[in-house]
Amino acid sequence: MKKIIVFASGSGSNAENIIKHFAKTKIAKVVSVFTNNASAKVIERAKNHHIPVEIFSKNELLERNLLQKIQEIDPDMIVLAGFLLKFPDHIIEQYPHKIINIHPALLPNYGGKGMYGMHIHRAIVNNKEKETGISIHYVNEHYDEGGIIFQKNVLLTEDDTPETVAEKIHELEQKYFPEIISRLLED
């Protein structure tokens, strides 16, 4: 069975969805959740599913000891699910094409440093976009610039608010993220 590590910084709804999805398969399982936020709700969600949690600081992410902890697990895939820090080059180099991220917009639009969550949804509404969506992509040394694996769009109306856009995006994330991870692990 293949091993997945999930990195998350916040509520962890995508992380929990991935944990639940793979708990019902023989393809892979989430073996650990890593977070840089000691008060993140993802910690409670992971523990409710008996998944070990590794809490680390930004400095530890940049140092080699976190890489060593990852190497001890020997994951087949590292999934960033609402992880807000830039992933360090020394980890990316060790796991080429094995680190993926989900972005709540259709890249290359609305990507880059500071573009996450409600910041994106507000910009999309303010710019009166007709559609938005999700992008699942490989992680490289630049924010949101790795090769795109999958995109799914959703139409918007004039009545959409940042909150309704967030709901539409969340539905797409919940449906497609585990499916794409499965597909990648089966290849």
Q: Which positions are catalytic? A: 103
Is 32 buried (19+), middle (13-18) or exposed (0-12) by CB count in 10 A? buried
> Is 101 annotated among the ligand-binding residues?
yes
**β-sheet bridge partners, residue 32:** 5
Q: What angle do CA 116, 79, 176 make, to 5 degrees?
A: 75
Give the amino acid at 152.
K
> Is 14 annotated among the ligand-binding residues?
yes
Residue showing tokens 């360090």: 88
> Is 10 annotated among the ligand-binding residues?
no
> Is 12 annotated among the ligand-binding residues?
yes
Taking each helix axis from N to C terminus, what angle separates 117-126 and 162-186, rounded to the nearest 10 degrees?
120
* Rounded Cα–Cα distance for residues 39 and 36 (Å): 9
Sequence ranges of the binding site for (6R)-10-formyltetrahydrofolate: 101
Sequence ranges of the binding site: 12-14, 101
